Amino acid sequence: MKPERILIIHPNWRGDVLFSTALIRALKNRFPAVSISSLITPRCKEILEENPDIDEIIFQPETKGLKNFLRGLKLVFLLQKKKFDLAFLLTPSFTRSFLIFLAGIPLRIGYKKGRKSIFLNKKIEPSKKDVHRAECFLELAYFLGVKREENNHFFLSSKDRQWVDDFLNKNRIDKKDFLVILNPGGNWELKRWPLENFARLGDKLIGQYKAKVIITGGGKDRELAEEISSLMQNKPILAAGKTTLKQLGALFKKADLVIANDSGPMHIAVALGCKVIALFGPTSFKITGPYSQRKNWRVIQKDVGCPLPCYELNCSQNRCMQAISVDEVLAKIDIDRRSMLK
């Protein structure tokens, strides 16, 4: 089969959308002339913007009730007009599988998952335990002769790079400075390293390594960044809530090192080829950890006897993240710092 038009229906999480870029690149390598369209929710658009492997981004509105039904019908008619040869559904969904069925897409590919997959006509058995999410997505296309792609991809514009240059100049950060970025956020509390640890680490980076330290994050992380800064004797530069996702990526690209919890920004830094130390607790790095053959990353995760991944959201101890010491992180930085001086 040699498709001409492919539709990819992405998950709703930014990290998972980033993992799907490996599939997009693999499809483009297999079928260079194919047109690839991505169906995503608007909040994930920055993950795929500027991606040269994608010909079109189509938005699926996040609404409910009658408005959702009417917009769904409009989307069906739009997809019909596009005349796609096949569609990949990257997450089991009855609604979305029904959507591409109504759109008349001849080959509808996804995971075999009970009633959620009844409108698919090519069903792939879900991967077994400890297979990385990016590889799970790739497995949907192996029957087409697609080869494994071992990197995720995130692209920046010249406008984003210029914004970062201006930001660094404004904060008197020079190319010769040892620049370390701390990204202390995470989409749920239990994935976050204690803020006191970030504060102690930041102080040691500035005092011991004479580093310039920037604390980043989204708008919701602004208060967290300010609290970490208030605990520090050596004050960092605060950028949380001041960047778009693309600008954040461009800022990572300028850094000598990024230290982050398991989060979307951490995966963006890895995809950009930055040196990254990723701090993992209740999630499994084998499934949702850094995905890059460049090995530009280190993972620190402690075995505290809990099964992984762990979704005990009511855990009051958070032992897995508290078990990671500041000294362990500094030890990894010693290794990376020496390699940078070679």
* pLDDT tens for each residue of 221-245: 999 999 999 999 999 999 999 999 9
- Identify the pLDDT of residue 342: 37
Dist CA 86 CA 146 (whole Å): 15
DSSP string, 235-246: --EE-TTSS-HH
Contacts of 297 (CB under 8 A, 6+ apart): 270, 275, 276, 277, 278, 290
304 backbone dihedrals φ, ψ, rounded to 5°: -110, 15
* Closest to 288 (Cα-Cα) out of 106, 59, 135, 166: 135
Q: Are 88 and 105 in contact (CB under 8 A)?
A: no
Residue 127 confidence class, pLDDT cut points 50, 70, 90: confident
Assign 25 to helix, strand or coil: helix
Q: Which of 26-40, 72-86, 309-323 has the lowest mean pLDDT?
A: 309-323
Q: Label residue 64 by pLDDT band (50, 70, 90).
A: low
Domain definitions of the chain by residue range: 5-144, 158-341
State how far the Cα of 319 lies from the Cα of 305, in Å rounded to an integer: 10
* For residue 63, pLDDT beyond 60: no
Q: What would the mean pLDDT of 301-305 be, rounded to a whole number?
A: 88
- Determine which of 13-22, 194-203, 298-307 has the lowest per-residue pLDDT on average: 298-307
Percentage of the chain beyond pLDDT 90 is 80
158-341 in CATH: which number?
Answer: 3.40.50.2000
Secondary structure element (H or E) that encloses residue 118, with its range: none
pLDDT for the residue numbered 318: 82
The predicted pLDDT at position 338 comes to: 66
Give the domain 5-144 fold: Rossmann fold (3.40.50)
